[in-house]
Amino acid sequence: MTDKVAKLVIGDQTHEFPVLSGTVGPDVIDIRSLYAKTGMFTYDPGFTSTAACDSAITYIDGDKGELLYRGYPIDQLAEKSNYLEVCYLLLYGELPNKAQMAEFDTLVTRHTMVHEQMHYFYRGFRRDAHPMAVMTGVVGAMAAFYHDSTDITDPQQREIASIRMIAKMPTIAAMAYKYSIGQPFVYPRNDLDFASNFLHMCFSVPAEQFKVNPTIAKAMDLIFTLHADHEQNASTSTVRLAGSSDANPFACIAAGVACLWGPAHGGANEAALNMLKEIGTVDRIPEFIARAKDKNDPFKLMGFGHRVYKNFDPRATVMQATAKEVLDLLGVHNNPTLQVAQALEKIALEDPYFIDRKLYPNVDFYSGIILEAIGFPTSMFTVLFAVARTVGWIAQWKEMIGDPQKKIGRPRQLYNGSPARDYAEITGR
Ligand code: CMC
């Protein structure tokens, strides 16, 4: 709370509302009493001016291009930390000491296997199903397989559900991939780190172990780290809204996975790479730039723009450098997709349309290039995003459930339909 007060004048009435301050970032006007005082709602489709919760997990300054997990800048975490440590940080609020890290590592590692019956569950899906469709179904089904951790009033069950979700999501994702290519499922290995184990489950076959290159594993770990949380984005808000009704955590995360799939959100990495391939060669870029600027054409430059970042996306900066490192390591020189990406970025950033609207490449612009070089098909890109974001969803869900002020999410509306009218018999219509 601050001393500041916001005054709202409606006709001859003045109403006062408290102004709240966070540790950093814009103040917010507390309008919880607005309807009671005025009989009016606020109107804010897309929540562009609305804070729906208070949170201590992630902070973004879109103008500065700053992203903090629990106060730590993303570039420092990308350089010095690793995904599992970041998971600990997001979940518990502080960086772990050695003993805490070792305990957490063991806990997650020992929960990576999934219930054997889940193997049969996968077999009900068509082989050509999109892996995100499979993910949405399987994650939702976890509530059926792990019913003993669905009581959200029990802190112990909430904790174990969180660990299960973080540990099993890579296994579930790798199984979705294996199923789609007709290969047998590969069990996790406890001697591998989080990212290496995931690559092993995706690329090993019973006839041959996949040798995990440390640079590739590091790039995979970095992609997970950069996607781990991102404040109140669409899928996280979906998880919170689903959780606000006291739904079990598996159901809430399944809702998040479903929302993430959309091309305006997590589906953008798949869409961005498909777009770069469709453009194909540098000489075709002007045609696509013209389409992106044409108001009568629904085409958008995928991997460009962000609701919050209006300067640059700090994740994209790290991702661009890693893309180059991975392609160099794999000996992928003169990669046409990377050439188109680099040229497109340059041309767009010099174009007044993109400058005026503050449209910069986002994290998804370069991640697809790395993932393709590692060997993932485009249909798996959003799945990998879901694996990484699971900890963010869980941390935000746990924060909400533990908040004594939690209320069921229930937005209101500006009704534009017919006023009350009498039912007409079919013969008279
Ligand atoms: N290409 C061309 N024009 C664009 C683009 C784009 N990618 N993004 C926004 N614009 C234009 C938009 O048409 C509008 O123009 P005008 O003011 O003339 O009407 C202006 O820029 C503002 O855009 P907006 O749609 O009001 O912005 P928003 O905050 O509602 O949307 C966005 C943000 C990310 C959904 C949008 O930029 C977009 O669809 N980008 C492409 C998809 C994408 O890359 N998404 C990944 C986001 S990062 C990963 C994640 O968080 O999931």
User: Tens-digit pLDDT profile for the chain (429 aa)?
Assistant: 678 999 999 999 999 999 999 999 999 999 999 999 999 999 999 999 999 999 999 999 998 999 999 999 999 999 999 999 999 999 999 999 999 999 999 999 999 999 999 999 999 999 999 999 999 999 999 999 999 999 999 999 999 999 999 999 999 999 999 999 999 999 999 999 999 999 999 999 999 999 999 989 999 999 999 999 999 999 999 999 999 999 999 999 999 999 999 988 888 888 899 999 999 999 999 999 999 999 999 999 999 999 888 888 899 988 888 888 888 888 877 778 888 988 998 998 899 999 999 998 888 888 888 898 899 999 999 999 999 999 999 999 999 999 988 999 999 999 999 999 999 999 999
Atom of ligand 1 nearest to the CA of 235: 52
Q: Locate the domains of the chain by residue range.
A: 5-51, 56-405
As a whole number of angstroms, the distance between CA 200 and CA 420 comes to 61
pTM of the model: 0.92
Catalytic residue among 200, 230, 306, 313: 306
Atom of ligand 1 nearest to the CA of 272: 44
CATH number of 56-405: 1.10.357.10, 1.10.580.10, 1.10.1240.10, 1.20.1050.10? 1.10.580.10
Select from 390, 367, 363, 364 the least CA-distant residue to 135: 390
**Do 5-51 and 56-405 agree at the fold level?**
no
CB 386 within 8 A of CB 135: yes
**Closest C-alpha residue for ligand 1 atom 31:** 307
Cα angle value 127/249/230 (rounded, 5°)? 85
CATH topology of domain 5-51: Rubrerythrin, domain 2 (2.20.28)
> Between the CA of residue 426 and those of 58, 301, 416, 423, what are the distances in Å?
56, 49, 25, 9
Provide φ and ψ at 304, rounded to 5°. Answer: -120, 140
Ligand 1 lining (C-beta closer than 6 Å): 230, 233, 264-266, 268, 292, 300-307, 357, 359, 362-364
**Closest C-alpha residue for ligand 1 atom 45:** 264
